[in-house]
Amino acid sequence: MEATATAPAHTPADGAPRVLEREPLVLNNRSYSWITNRICGIVENKQPGLWWLLFVPSVILTGVMVFCFVYLISTGVGVWGQKQPVAWAWDITNFVFWIGIGHAGTLISAILFLTRQKWRTSVNRAAEAMTLFAVMCAGLFPAFHVGRVWMVWFLAPIPNANAIWQNFKSPLLWDVFAVSTYFTVSVIFWYIGLIPDLATLRDRCKPGLKKMLYGTFALGWRGGNRHWSHYETAYMLLAALSTPLVLSVHSVVSFDFATSVVPGWHTTIFPPYFVAGAIFGGFAMVLTLMIPARKIYGLQDLITPKHIDNMAKIILLTGTIVGYAYSMEFFMAYYGANKFELQTFQLRGLYGPSTWAYYFMFSFNVFAPQLFWIRWCRHNMWMVMFVCMCVNAGMWFERYVIIATTLERHLTPGSWRTYEATWVDKVTFLGTFGFFMMLFLLFLRFLPVIAIGEVKGVLPQSNPHQDDHPETGIQEEDLMDYADRHVAKTVNA
């Protein structure tokens, strides 16, 4: 990495630095034009071979997914593995898994925006896109689980000739509202954020279809003061609107389970525990996608080790919160002295037929992220990828443990049955990964992966007063003499 000096302009008599400087969010003093060219270049240039190498299998897998759903519709829901007492299994597990992943985007965009975390600018666009694609994958499962997917519109409380009256007391119905509202607002939020960048792409295109499309979607953006002012107001309002939505979606998903009287499902900590888990899984997926993307497209100066370090820390925090919730559930199962609740947990974790799933869940979600206590693990991309892969798998197992293994040993021992997934379950789930990847790769191909306008806003040169009151400062890397450096050495510190 080329090192360019960030020179402090002023040194006091004693020379000792008194300020701990913030790490730059864009490395190597990149200019506005470099940023525009680098990000737009991804869309404008030919895609690297690796893109095709990933895209083709993704399309094939999407086809396989479509085949599976066609097979399911034509044959019946019986092609999936659920039988009494395990009436919910992989389908709902996959639904909650994908919905959870769909939380990081809006978290990064909205909550980190409201808390003024400027580092979000490099990752929010891709995370939001990922959110939308994950929610799309999620929506498929309950829609097809209803059996007659063509009647899924009965879920909407609209007048119909069949005297269908939606059960407003059911969390499943709230789920429909929560997820669809979340998806709608996330699309709007994502699109509003895209407008200035679409205009940039429009301005760089040669006349033709592309220019017309980018131009249409850029809504006549000219980048005037008034445009920016309206844009920022809208962005702020949408951020404020999205924040409760992020929390509501997974809280409502948790209600699907927690409002029941099923031991192992009914527990009061479920809403915040699900939300923390969703943020956890979502961040892992963001990193899973962004670490290869930054390497392939040469975005290391924009998505810096600092960004990855921050996200790794969030994964550590949320992973530990999830660990707290697991432990609290176990503790209360004991403390509550309800033998059914306690037995459910003993069956999950000690002697049930699927304890392996519980061990996977616990070690992937709670123990693996503990590696992020070590700085080296947060800065070694292979290590970060390893932990993220653990978390991706672990969060799937979490939902599997909650849903399938609980039902395997329901209240009546006479109806106990060990669940086994069929090939359709497995291939459909694999197919959604193809669908997800296909959409994400198309996003990389046609839209700016990083919010160009927002990244420029966090550059030091965007602050007209940056040199007005210099103080002698020092970078943490210089101060602590870390072995791996990312920021240019401060001169005269």
Partner 1 sequence: MSHHVTFKDLPEGGEKFDPAKGSKLIGAFAVIGGLGLVGSIYGFVAHADVFSYSWLFAIFFAFTVMVGSCFWILLHNASNSSWGVVIRRLFENLANMVPVLAILALPLLLPSVQSHLYEWMNHHREAAHHAQEAGISVKEALHHMAEENQHLHVLVEKFGYLNITKHFVPPFSWQTRFLLYFFVLWYIARHMRGLSLRQEQDGDIRHTIAARNSSCRWLFPFALTATFASVDWLMSLDYTWFSTMWGVYIFAGSAWASMAIMIMLVAWLRSLGYLQKVVSEEHYHLMGKLLFAFTVFWAYIAFSQYFLIWYANITEETRFYLIRNTAGWRWVSIFIVVGHFIGPFILLLSQPRKKNPVVMVTVCLWIIFMHVVDMYWNVIPERGPSLGLGVLAPGAIWGDIFALMAVVGTMGFLFLRKLGGNSLYPWRDPRLLESVNVVN
User: What does the binding site for partner 1 look like in residue numbers (CB under 8 A)?
Assistant: 16-20, 22, 116, 244, 247, 251, 255, 258-261, 266-272, 320, 324-325, 328-329, 331-332, 334-338, 373, 465, 468-469, 471, 473-474, 476, 479-480
Q: Indicate the residue among 169 and 226 with the shorter CB distance to partner 1.
A: 169
Q: Indicate the residue among 244 and 298 with the shorter CB distance to partner 1.
A: 244
The least distance separating partner 1 from the CB of residue 483, rounded to whole angstroms, comes to: 15
Q: Indicate the residue among 276 and 404 with the shorter CB distance to partner 1.
A: 276
Q: Indicate the residue among 128 and 329 with the shorter CB distance to partner 1.
A: 329
Q: Indicate the residue among 54 and 246 with the shorter CB distance to partner 1.
A: 246
Q: What is the 3-state secondary structure (H, E, C) of the chain?
A: CCCCCECCCCCCCCCCCCEECCCCCCHHHCCHHHHHHHHHHHHHCCCCHHHHHHHHHHHHHHHHHHHHHHHHHHHCHHHCCCECCECCCHHHHHHHHHHHHCCHHHHHHHHHHHCCCHHHHHCHHHHHHHHHHHHHHHHHHHHHHCCCHHHHHHHCCCCCCCCCCCCCCCHHHHHHHHHHHHHHHHHHHHHHHHHHHHHHHHHHCCCCHHHHHHHHHCCCCCCCHHHHHHHHHHHHHHHHHHHHHHHHHHHHHHHHHHCCCCCCCCCCCHHHHHHHHHHHHHHHHHHHHHHHHHHHCCCCCCCCHHHHHHHHHHHHHHHHHHHHHHHHHHHHHHHCCCHHHHHHHHHHHHHCCCHHHHHHHHHHHHHHHHHHHCHHHHHCHHHHHHHHHHHHHHHHHHHHHHHHHHHHCCCCHHHCCCCCCCHHHHHHHHHHHHHHHHHHHHHHHHCCCCCHHHHHHCCHHHCCCCCCCCCCEECHHHHHCCCCCCCCCECCC
Residue located via tokens 């969010």 = 25
At position 488, the amino acid (one-letter code) is A
The least distance separating partner 1 from the CB of residue 130, rounded to whole angstroms, comes to: 24
The least distance separating partner 1 from the CB of residue 415, rounded to whole angstroms, comes to: 22
What is the maximal distance between C-alpha atoms in the chain?
85
The least distance separating partner 1 from the CB of residue 293, rounded to whole angstroms, comes to: 26
The least distance separating partner 1 from the CB of residue 331, rounded to whole angstroms, comes to: 8
The least distance separating partner 1 from the CB of residue 407, rounded to whole angstroms, comes to: 17
Q: Indicate the residue among 143 and 474 with the shorter CB distance to partner 1.
A: 474
Q: Indicate the residue among 248 and 432 with the shorter CB distance to partner 1.
A: 248
The least distance separating partner 1 from the CB of residue 437, rounded to whole angstroms, comes to: 33
The least distance separating partner 1 from the CB of residue 379, rounded to whole angstroms, comes to: 16
The least distance separating partner 1 from the CB of residue 320, rounded to whole angstroms, comes to: 6
Q: Indicate the residue among 119 and 419 with the shorter CB distance to partner 1.
A: 119
Return d(Cα 171, Cα 255) in angstroms, integer: 6
The least distance separating partner 1 from the CB of residue 334, rounded to whole angstroms, comes to: 7
At position 414, the amino acid (one-letter code) is G
Q: Indicate the residue among 46 and 116 with the shorter CB distance to partner 1.
A: 116
Q: Indicate the residue among 218 and 252 with the shorter CB distance to partner 1.
A: 252
